[in-house]
């Protein structure tokens, strides 16, 4: 399995879904991301990260609330937002960053 560092360095933008199993709103995110993936296909890679199992990462990225979406390209975070973002709002934001 590829490690996260390799995935983040990739020229393909990576959307990280930071979630927790105990978080109610986090349950609303997977169908949104499924729709986003169907629309964007290979232009975007989506990775889910459980903040409870990856506390070092959540500290590094200063995740204070979940769900939080982070968009990386070539190792740099280029966008982040906390809270549930509906697909119709998320798609234009992502398209803007996908170029």
Active site residues: 23, 26
- Please name which of 94, 98, 99 lies closest in space to residue 33, comparing C-alpha atoms: 94
Helix (H, G, I), strand (E, B) or coil at 99: coil
Helices (H) and strands (E) in the chain, counts: 4, 4
């Amino acid at each position: 399995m590829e490690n996260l560092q390799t995935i983040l360095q990739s020229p393909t933008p990576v959307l990280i879904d930071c979630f927790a199993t105990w978080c109610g709103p986090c349950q609303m995110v997977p169908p949104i991301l499924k729709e986003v993936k169907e629309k964007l296909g290979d232009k975007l890679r989506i990775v889910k990260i459980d903040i409870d199992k990856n506390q070092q990462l959540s500290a590094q990225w200063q995740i204070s609330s979940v769900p939080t979406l982070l968009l990386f390209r070539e190792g740099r975070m280029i966008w982040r937002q906390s809270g549930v973002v509906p697909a119709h709002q998320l798609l234009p934001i992502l398209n803007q960053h996908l170029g």
